[in-house]
Amino acid sequence: MQTHDAAPAGAVTTATGAPPHRGRGRRPAEEVRADVLRTVGDLILSEGLADLTFERVARSSGVSKTTLYKWWPSRGALALDGYFHAVEPALAFDDTGDVRADLSHQLHSFAEVMGTPGGRALLQLVGGSQTDPDLAAALSDLYTSARRRLAEERLARAQEAGQIRGDADVRVLVDQLWGAIYYRLMVPDGVTVDAAFVDALVDHLFDGVTPR
């Protein structure tokens, strides 16, 4: 466009709450998409997965249900997408050479994050995936699968470096570390996730519980 037009083009009027935008014509896809993800992220962190409906997202975001259904095939897909735009999970995994220290650090961070609203939302997503195959698949593809792989790779390197016994199964170790944390959070029978718990997770596995 060669004119003296002052159009902001890609300006995304972030603002709070719902963007105004009166009129029913077409809007840039990214703008619409951003509105949706912001709304979903807010909803899922503040009120949880149970109250997240297409209807509410449409109302709160100013985006029509038609558009929502066009881009997100299910409630789970929408929730997951909004969730990851809200929390931006850190997938990096330190490698200082000391696998026990690295694991401990990583697990403490993980336990801490799981105590936030974002952590609770993740638990609800895992919960919902038990009855929603689409959500289960999306959750695996977008998050848990990558995290498991990163952890397994770090542990495999440690095993090659001789820091973990050769006959141990590093994939099982992931379940006994992260899985144990998930379990305490999802089935909290009078137990809590604290620093001592995380320390015990690592100690038990590396030292064994059989008396010397």
Partner DNA sequence: CAATAATCGAGACGGTACGTCTTGTCTTGGG
Partner DNA sequence: CCCAAGACAAGACGTACCGTCTCGATTATTG
Terminal-to-terminal C-alpha distance of the chain? 79
State how far the Cα of 154 lies from the Cα of 105, in Å rounded to an integer.
13
Long-range contacts of 169-173 (CB under 8 A, 24+ apart): 173/205
Q: Which of residues 44-63 bind DNA (CB under 7 A)?
A: 51, 53-56, 62-63
The two tokens of residue 189 are 């029978």
Q: Which listed option, DNA, a copy of itself, none, makes contact with residue 14 (CB within 5 to 8 Å by class)?
A: none
Q: Which listed option, DNA, a copy of itself, none, makes contact with residue 35 (CB within 5 to 8 Å by class)?
A: DNA
CB of 63 or CB of 181, closer to DNA:
63
> Which one, of 141, 131, 114, lies nearest residue 50 by Cα?
131
Q: Which listed option, a copy of itself, DNA, none, makes contact with residue 162 (CB within 5 to 8 Å by class)?
A: a copy of itself
Residue 193 CB neighbour total at 10 angstroms:
21
Closest contact distance (angstroms) between CB of 50 and a copy of itself is: 4
Interacting stretch for DNA, rule CB under 7 A, among 15-23, 99-107, 120-128, 148-156?
Answer: 15-23
CB of 5 or CB of 167, closer to DNA:
5
Residue 15 CB neighbour total at 10 angstroms:
10
Dihedral pair phi/psi, residue 36, rounded to 5°:
-65, -50
CB of 101 or CB of 168, closer to a copy of itself:
168
Assess 4 for contact with DNA (CB under 7 A).
no
Interacting stretch for DNA, rule CB under 7 A, among 41-49, 70-78, 143-151, 178-186?
Answer: 70-78
Q: Which listed option, a copy of itself, DNA, none, makes contact with residue 204 (CB within 5 to 8 Å by class)?
A: a copy of itself
CB 143 within 8 A of CB 126: no
CB of 14 or CB of 131, closer to a copy of itself:
131
Which 3-state string (H, E, C) describes 150-182? HHHHHHHHHHHCCCCCCCCCHHHHHHHHHHHHH
Site residues (vs DNA, CB under 7 A) = 5, 7-8, 21-29, 32-33, 35, 51, 53-56, 62-67, 69-71, 74-75
